Amino acid sequence: MTGPRDTAFNSFLKNFAEDVGKFFKGANVLASIRDEDVNVGATPKTLVMRRDKVELFRYEPTAERTVETPVLIVYGLIGRYTIADLQPDRSLVRSLLSEGIDLWLIDWGRPGRSERWLTMDDYVDDYIHEAVCRICRETGHDKVTLLGICEGGVFTTCYAALHPEKVKNLVLTITPIDFHADIADPVANHGLLNIWTRSLAPKDIDQMVDVLGAIPGEFISSIFSLLTPMRSLTEYNVDLIKIVDDKDKLMQFLHMVKWLADRPDHPGEAGRQLLKELYQENRLVEGRFELSGRIVDLRAIDAPVLNIFSLGDHIIPSTCSKALGGKIGSIDYTEIPLLGGHVGLFVSGRSRGKLTKSIAEWLQERDK
């Protein structure tokens, strides 16, 4: 007679055997994949301009043009733009190109010790401004549309306020504007990054930047991992084992891992501004943030604005993004909340499809 204990043991042996079989099959799948197969940011593009380590690219068109105004993608310095072009079937870039959009990109490169003194002033009033002017010369337009992502959205918001004459439209995705709005967020795990950053002693921020000249990429990665500790503990064992014998899912996993591992150092002085003046002192939304000797007045933004945020974003809570609505001068303001998380907005098939459609339709309506 078989008892409950025997049944449980037999079930354990069966599951163990299945996992072992899956592991060996997965090992063969993994052995067949080469580094060049996991290629992020691979959508064809042409280098148009290089200024220091910063490069301006123009993507090759894949469909008949439906939006004439050029669109410049600006990602932040915390991470790489390649999250928007992760792999062919999970690429916001390819999706927008298929909608007939003239797409451009700023690649910040990999800042090192020589960039330690660069400030947000340099990124907004020098690099972005030069890129915008070059795009205008190349295309014959006098304005461009800016598409800012995360910290890049902060840069483009500041640029639109300081140079409204050069901005046709402003599209923001997962962009923090009010860095203290998370205090009133009802979801407990939203805004942990903001809480941690506000808890830092200003002198400790100064010491890190003064000694290292940067906010190390490895340090930034560790902070993001600590925001979701259980997921960080299980993704390379439990989660990986579940999909290791499925090549398509494994490739998705490897593309994401490659993007996560490619986190450059954040230039020191720009990082000091970000942590102290924005995260801690909340100067942007309060009208006290200064770049190149000028106050960034959000009321000076007179271009149409599309503000897209993720309702499940634990890094940039939606409340931090929504704060822009009542602060700008433009009467053409649209908010689109989407389901998903901070990264899922760009790599999830469902979220990315809605994101692309929302951006394309909004731009087409304003390109007449």
* 133 is an active site residue: no
Tokens 């930034």 sit on residue: 220
Signed CA dihedral, 175, 287, 119, 301: sign only = positive
On whether the CB atoms of residues 145 and 169 are closer than 8 A, the answer is yes
Per the residue annotation, which of 133, 136, 150, 320 is the catalytic one?
A: 150
Burial zone of 22 (CB within 10 Å; 0-12 exposed, 13-18 middle, 19+ buried): middle
**Do residues 338 and 203 touch, judged by C-beta distance below 8 A?**
no
CA distances in angstroms from 169 to 62, 70, 92, 102, 302, listed in the order given: 22, 10, 18, 14, 9
User: Among 365, 332, 345, which residue's Cα sits nearest to residue 86?
Assistant: 345
What residues are annotated to the active site?
150
